[in-house]
Homo-oligomer: A and B are copies of this chain.
Amino acid sequence: MGSHPAGRPLAELAAHVGGTLRGDGSLLIRGVGGLAEAGPGELSFYGNPRYRDALLVTRAAAVLVPSGEPPLRTDLAVVQVEDPHLAFARISALFHPAETAPPGVSPSARVHPQARVHPDATVMAFATVEAGAEVGAGTLLSPGVFVGRGARVGAHSVLHPNVTVREGCLVGDRVVIHASAVVGADGFGFAFDPGVGAHVKVPQAGIVRVEDDVEIGACTCIDRATTGETVIGRGTKIDNLVQVAHNVRVGPHSLLCAQAGISGSAELGAGVILAGQVGVVGHIRIGDGARVVAQSGVVHDVPAGETLAGSPAIDHRAWLKLSAALPRLGELLREVRALRARVAALEGSEESEENR
């Protein structure tokens, strides 16, 4: 996929990412690929030393490398850049322009007469847009998408198949929501009534606000607020199967990896990174730029810039020491038992001393 019959001269691509070219600039690049997959006429990138061997054998015609990287192969054109991964993203985008669907509403879609769908939007078969909802210019609603009463989806956004955006929720511009994701389901709010011995539902009357340039993964759930808003900040990217509970506020440009879960009313700052399967308890605050290692459980406020690990989560360096020490616990138990015996022996002879 993404190959380009004509191809683009390597020099042009190097210039596009402000890189320094070492090799034949007239080389025609027809596509991009990982070091293992890329073939003749394709460009790849080398950012992580763990892939040094792959670099040595790649069939790629040219490779993006970090500035100052010593040449590993003389037979390979290289483009030196500060961040090969970022440069690869930019060049790959040239070979994979965003797909555009023909605008218009499918006769098999269901758009309520009181909904406002921009003439340049695309609404595919079996998509539903309810009364009072709005869909912006250039936005794509795939088959099975549901946009509830009074919900608003901005411009140039893409909602993949079977996405649900419940009533009143707000989705910004250039937002991508992957298949089967759910925006605006009821928060998990119940109060136990001892009188009747049952849980009473707390109406979830708030909404979800998804700001511009957010991406939301497949089967990810972002619950509507009890009152007010659950907010996903501008440019934040969310992976698959992530849970974001009611009244959570996630700052801009954060990354939430797969299967992470954030409990009610927690606040994440800007540029926060939660690795996979991380859990965050409710009503706490995680500061700007904080990072949490995979499978950790955050139970207290986290200052800006900190890195945490473990469940309950502690400072990452402390956790690394702890993880290294843990396997020696058994040995430690034996050790102490031995010491106890030796000390008892010493005490015994002590006494005999006294009785001399």
Using CB atoms and an 8 Å cutoff, list the residues of chain A in contact with chain B.
1-2, 32-34, 36-38, 48, 50, 83, 85-86, 88-90, 92-93, 95-96, 106, 108, 110, 124-126, 128, 142-144, 146, 160-162, 164, 166, 168, 176, 178-182, 185-186, 188-193, 197-203, 205-207, 213, 215, 217-219, 221, 223, 226-228, 235, 237, 239-241, 243, 245, 247, 253, 255, 257-259, 261, 263, 276-277, 279, 281, 283, 294-295, 297, 311-312, 314, 318, 321-323, 325-330, 332-333, 335-336, 339-340, 342-343, 346-347, 349-350, 353
Contact = CB atoms under 8 A, between A and B. Distances in A.
B215 A253 contact: no
A30 to B, nearest CB: 13
Contacts of A330: 321-322, 325
A302 to B, nearest CB: 16
A199 B255 CA distance: 9
Instruction: Give how many copies assemble into the complex.
Output: 3
A223 B202 contact: no
A275 to B, nearest CB: 9
B332 A200 contact: no
B277 A261 contact: yes
A35 to B, nearest CB: 10
Nearest to A197: B253
Contacts of A89: 189-191, 200-203
Most buried by B among A33, A125, A143: A143
A92 B205 contact: yes
A200 B90 contact: yes
Given A96-B203, A161-B164, A228-B33, A335 B340 contact: yes
Contacts of A161: 128, 146, 164
A353 B164 CA distance: 83
Given A92-B205, A144-B126, A322-B330, A188 B86 contact: no
